[in-house]
Amino acid sequence: MNIHRSSLVGRFLVTGLVAMVFAAACTGEQTPSGVDAPTPGAVDEGRSASEALCPTAALAGADGPVEIEFWHAMSATTGEVLDELVADYNDGQTAVQVTAVFQGGYRDNFNKYISTLRSGGTLPSMIQLNETSMQQMVDSQSIIAVEHCVVAADYDLSDHPARLLEQYRIGGELVTMPFQLANPVLFYDGNDFVAAGLDPDDPPSDLGVLESVSRALVDTGTVPTALVLDVDAWPFEQWVNTAGVALVDNDNGRTARAQNPGLDSEAVGDVLEWLDGMHDAGLLQITGRGGDQAALAKFVAVGLGTATMTIASSASLGEIYKQLERAPDVDLRVGPFPGLAAGATAVGGGSLYLLNETDDAERAAVWDFMTWLDEPVQQVRWSMGTGYIPTRSSASDDAGLQALWVERPGFRVAFDQLSRPGDLPGGGGPVIGDHLGFRDAIEDGLEALYAGDDPAEVQAEMQSNADEAIDDYNRRIGE
């Protein structure tokens, strides 16, 4: 089965990317590798085709160490841990030497990649991008789906959580190698729960309970406002995910290219009504829209005691624990994401792409490095140092990780959350051409909601703007 999707990292790319980068417009379906290759059919034919695209055995015949460049978006604590892993890989063998290059955040990294691709400059051998980039990377026709490497190497994926693999599959094929996994979780100050007569070991499980807990925190005078959020589309998408409702058509854009948004659903309306009620009642504080600064302000509010709870990525854990000494009066607790319903959340985080402007030895070297990072021992180190979820189920058996989970139970919450019951439409979160345009539509609507606009009008505007973003992208690539 062929795949045909990607994700945009800047709305301006919709207008210029296809015209300036993709000389050949994408018409019809494309192969996941971005080259003219058959989809695996019969076992022998599929293996032969995959070995041609990803010759994993080619490393053995290389002359001297194969040098590969790896562009990534990890900074602060996560960047330090990644640099340590790369150094250990380089020191532990002589066949491959990896040069890791930090290119800024996910958006910066992707923009640099597209700019280099457009200008004909030197591309890296592999790149790390977040989960919204899959459609755009496929449409770029510049990658080789790692499914080919899996087939060529007969790589065992049985130790990987099924929800993780489904997130990065399109049409049954694994497009990109999972690396760092995250989920939204609830951060809260257990001391405030005690002060308000609440059980700090029993965090709110859904939005209804979250509202009642918030009222108790404020009514007792414990905090001025209970919950603090920034204007961010990701948790909004996750609330809809927990209701098992698709955010776009065609099974969240996974069985065919997304054509129509689903922001007119009852679930979206329920989330907007809930947020509006919380904000009007003074139970919800908003730190604004603006990436890192607005996200940091949430934790500052909890640290200063102007709010008790916030929602953020589990990947924040490593840095937060590192900074806890600055807030000695906070009893940091982590609870599962309080959903609209009891269903599943989608995997977030990032993954690794194999680029097709590589020779056989480079492809084999990239695969060797990818699979080394995927080993349980490396995933344990990565999880313990950052808060990301291990890609391997067996990592939970590691004595060091188990000890950390006892000392800091918050590190385990997101891992356990992957087993939350419920099915996501198409198996994972939405795959959209202009995913950031889609998210802009949500965030524009949230800003209007907090400014006092009617929830029903906000929802209609969200749907209209998301529809425009999707249509514009699809029209420009000829779909």
C-alpha–C-alpha distance, residues 213 and 15, integer Å:
45
φ and ψ at residue 25, rounded to 5 degrees: -65, 150
Q: Which is nearest to 288 in space by CA: 226, 230, 235? A: 230
- Average pLDDT score over residue span 79-92: 97
| 256 band by pLDDT with thresholds 50, 70 and 90 | very high
**CA distance linking residue 174 with residue 119, whole number of Å:** 29
The token duo for 222 is 């414990």
Nearest to 157 by CA among 180, 171, 175, 174: 174
Which residue spans within 287-329 are E strands per DSSP? 309-313
Q: Which residues contact 290 (CB under 8 A, 6 or more apart)?
A: 230
Per-residue pLDDT at 2 exceeds 60: no
Q: What pLDDT was estimated at residue 45?
A: 62
CA 104 to chain centre: 16
pLDDT, tens digit (0-9, with 9 covering 90-100), for 116-138: 999 999 999 999 999 888 999 99
Contacts of 77 (CB under 8 A, 6+ apart): 318, 319, 322, 385, 386
pLDDT of residue 16: 32
| Residue 158 burial (C-beta neighbours within 10 Å; 0-12, 13-18, 19+) | exposed
Q: What is the mean pLDDT of residues 373-385?
A: 96
449 vs 214: CA distance, rounded Å: 20
Comparison of pLDDT for 6 and 380, the residue scoring more: 380
Instruction: Kindly provide the residue ranges of all beta strands, DSSP E only, lying in 20-120, ordered along the sequence.
Output: 66-72, 96-102
Name the band, by pLDDT with cuts 50, 70 and 90, for residue 44: low
- Predicted pLDDT of residue 8: 28
What mean pLDDT, rounded, does the chain reach? 89
Whole-angstrom CA distances from 289 to 42, 184, 230, 279, 393 are: 50, 18, 6, 16, 35
Type of residue numbered 415: F
- Fill in the DSSP letter of residue 441: H
pLDDT computed for residue 35 by the predictor: 31
| Cα–Cα nearest to 82, from 315, 314, 295, 313 | 315
Q: Answer for the pair 369, 234: CB distance below 8 angstroms, yes or no.
A: no
For 284-296, write each residue's pLDDT tens digit.
999 999 878 999 9
> Under a CB-based contact definition with an 8 Å cutoff, are residues 107 and 9 in contact?
yes
> pLDDT tens across 234-253, in order?
999 999 999 999 999 999 99
Q: Would you state the pLDDT for residue 26?
A: 32
Quick check: 38 pLDDT over 80? no
Q: How confident is the model at residue 364 (pLDDT cuts 50, 70, 90)?
A: very high
pLDDT at 247: 98
Is the pLDDT score of 6 beyond 70?
no
Strand blocks (E) in 284-393: 284-286, 309-313, 332-336, 348-355
Per-residue model confidence as pLDDT tens digits over 406-425 = 999 999 999 999 889 999 99
| Domains annotated on the chain, with CATH | 11-182+347-397 (3.40.190.10), 184-344+439-457 (3.40.190.10)
pLDDT, one tens digit per residue, over 259-302 is 999 999 999 999 999 999 999 999 999 999 987 899 999 999 99
DSSP 8-state secondary structure symbol assigned to residue 95? S
Indicate if the pLDDT at residue 13 is higher than 70: no
201: exposed, middle or buried (C-beta count within 10 Å: 0-12, 13-18, 19+)?
A: exposed
pLDDT band for 321, please (50, 70, 90 cuts): confident
pLDDT in tens, 464-479: 999 999 999 999 987 6
What are the pLDDT digits (tens) for 414-456?
999 988 999 999 999 999 999 999 999 999 999 999 999 999 9
Contact present, 287 and 230 (Cβ < 8 Å): yes
- CA–CA dist 177, 35 (Å, integer): 18
* Count of helix runs (H) and strand runs (E) in the chain: 20, 13
Q: What integer pLDDT is reported at residue 171 of this predicted model?
A: 83
Q: Which of 233, 267, 261, 257 is nearest to 247 (CA)?
A: 261
pLDDT of 112 above 80: yes
> Among candidates 172, 222, 197, 190, which has minimal Cα distance to 39?
172
Q: What are phi and psi of 177, to 5 degrees?
A: -85, 120
